[in-house]
Amino acid sequence: MARRGAHDWPHGAWEGSVLGSLWLDTAARPAPRPTLTEDSDVDLLVVGAGFTGLWTALRAVERTPGATVLVIEADRIAEHATGRNGGFCEASLTHGEENGRRRWPEEYDVLHRLGVQNLDAIEAAVERYDIDCGFARGGALTVATSEHQVGWLEPEADGFLDAAAVRAMVDSPTYLGGRFEPDETAVLDPARLAWGLARAAEGQGVRIAERTRLERLRREGRGVVAETSDGVRVRARRVALATNVFPGPLRRTRWSVVPVYDYVLATEPLTEDQLAAIGWDPAIGVADAGNQFHYYRITPDRRILWGGYDAIYHFGRSIDPGHEDRAATYRRLAEHFAATFPQLQGLRFTHRWAGVIDTSTRFCAFYGVAQRGRVAYATGFTGLGVGASRFAADVLLDLLAGERTERTRTAMVRQRVVPFPPEPLAWIGIQITRWSLAREDRTGRRNLWLRVLDRFGLGFDS
């Protein structure tokens, strides 16, 4: 394909790019672990080898050395949301302070403290297990690109940055104001973190089987019997389900999340001059303040990862690889990138990809048990699973042990989530919500539909 000239930028800047996650497109990706072929008897079976499953396995053997733990994964480690996100690792367990204070005002300070402790523990684990994932805890910058967004960032409160101060941190002519939170967000390479967690767990005796799909679960005696699609049986005293958006064996969770596709572009590596033109510390992640927001950061090899804005739900809760190559969204992302950083004219995108997010109506993870306490699950992270998955792992292990801890006593863990309705109501409601959120981004006003959702604590986000 012929390379277009700079005067055509950004149209076609993503043409010829690799359709696949930058994080997974590397020779450092480990070979697949073998498929499970023999029946097993274990203390704990973990279903899913994304962040939630890997942290659960690792925390299980850290908490109970010598426990026999088996992880089964239907695909490959980090193949889906874990290896396709932007690499923002946040302290928040509640999808931000506003959502947390609105839903759990009396315990928000506890949840905030637990979230910061959880991020501290992630940082400590990265160091302890020598996981080379580019972990950099530089904080997060939220930017306003319209006048009403400036108001959303509370300019009268301490910590607000005017346009000049924001542009001194990251230079874009679109910035009108901002707010910088220095301590509660890290950026990292999510795939390398997952591969490092897998190695750390295996180093303590955990077994991991890839391309091993769970087919069914049933109680037997004091435990649970799991059967794979190949007919292999695993007898487990306890089971942790970490399948997130993908349908698991429990019907009770199937209506509680919807799959939402999020899209990402990654540029070619920046030169020294290009990096200097934007003046951006690579340890800082950036997001704009809108409902339809972009998130972006500099990768360890000096690319700009640029994602978000469109959050696409497909009728019938459809999950299909065919949804990943959406030209209209990539074109829109490229145009928005060009408007944000016109000084990078001519920069091209080398990778484009999509990932499917497990969105819940309360915007953060929910938890539960089944099979008389022998099975526990966590899902619904709504885009904040990189950090919150480790907290979820400890919740799952607490629940399976029947322990009342500070984590399991919180209303956030105990409360059940409101499910999404069946089709066609789900699709209609989500489309109305997306239209209403876009309208609020343009006007700064929430319409009646959004105010009703606020009243009942419901919503749609990614």
Each residue's pLDDT tens digit, 78-107: 999 999 999 999 999 999 999 999 999 999
Q: What percent of the chain has a predicted confidence (pLDDT) above 90?
A: 91
Residue partners of 291: CB distance under 8 A and separation at least 6 = 437, 438, 440, 441, 461
Instruction: Supply the mean pLDDT for the chain.
Output: 94
Each residue's pLDDT tens digit, 283-317: 999 999 999 999 999 999 999 999 999 999 999 99
Does position 324 have pLDDT exceeding 80, yes or no? Answer: yes
Q: What is the DSSP letter of 228?
A: E
Contact by Cβ (8 Å): 304, 268: no
**Confidence band of 7 (pLDDT split at 50, 70, 90):** low
Reduced to 3 states (helix: H, G, I; strand: E, B; else coil), residue 155 is coil
Spatial distance between the Cα atoms of 78 and 76, rounded to a whole number of angstroms: 6
Each residue's pLDDT tens digit, 354-405: 999 999 999 999 999 999 999 999 999 999 999 999 999 999 999 999 999 9
- Domain-wise residue ranges, the chain: 7-22+136-186+258-359, 40-97+191-256+362-414, 425-455
**Confidence band of 462 (pLDDT split at 50, 70, 90):** low
Q: How far is CA 252 from CA 94, 232, 241, 369, 380, in A?
A: 22, 25, 13, 10, 13
**Which of 84, 423, 48, 79 is CA-nearest to residue 247?**
48
Task: Give the CA dihedral 194, 215, 62, 409, nearest 10 degrees.
Answer: 100
Each residue's pLDDT tens digit, 20-55: 999 999 999 999 999 999 999 999 999 999 999 999
Q: What is the pLDDT of residue 4?
A: 43
Spatial distance between the Cα atoms of 264 and 121, rounded to a whole number of angstroms: 28
Q: How far is CA 359 from CA 106, 144, 375, 412, in A?
A: 24, 25, 22, 16
- Token pair, residue 462, equals 């990614």
- Can you tell me the mean pLDDT for 397-419? 96
Does position 251 have pLDDT exceeding 70, yes or no? Answer: yes
Spatial distance between the Cα atoms of 107 and 86, rounded to a whole number of angstroms: 29
**Confidence band of 461 (pLDDT split at 50, 70, 90):** confident
134 — phi, psi (to 5°)?
65, 30
C-alpha of 295 from chain center: 12
Spatial distance between the Cα atoms of 49 and 267, rounded to a whole number of angstroms: 28
Residue partners of 382: CB distance under 8 A and separation at least 6 = 95, 357, 358, 359, 360, 363, 364, 365, 461, 462
Spatial distance between the Cα atoms of 381 and 7, rounded to a whole number of angstroms: 41
**β-pair partners for 308:** 294
Q: Quick one: fold of 7-22+136-186+258-359?
A: D-Amino Acid Oxidase; Chain A, domain 2 (3.30.9)
**What DSSP element (H or E) covers 224?**
strand 223-228
Reduced to 3 states (helix: H, G, I; strand: E, B; else coil), residue 411 is helix
- Can you tell me the mean pLDDT for 452-458? 84
**Confidence band of 2 (pLDDT split at 50, 70, 90):** very low
Q: Which CATH architecture has domain 40-97+191-256+362-414?
A: 3-Layer(bba) Sandwich (3.50)
Q: What is the pLDDT of residue 460?
A: 72
Q: How far is CA 375 from CA 72, 136, 370, 401, in A?
A: 15, 35, 5, 10
Spatial distance between the Cα atoms of 442 and 372, rounded to a whole number of angstroms: 49
Q: Which residue has the tokens 């000084």?
A: 343
Q: What is the pLDDT of residue 1?
A: 33
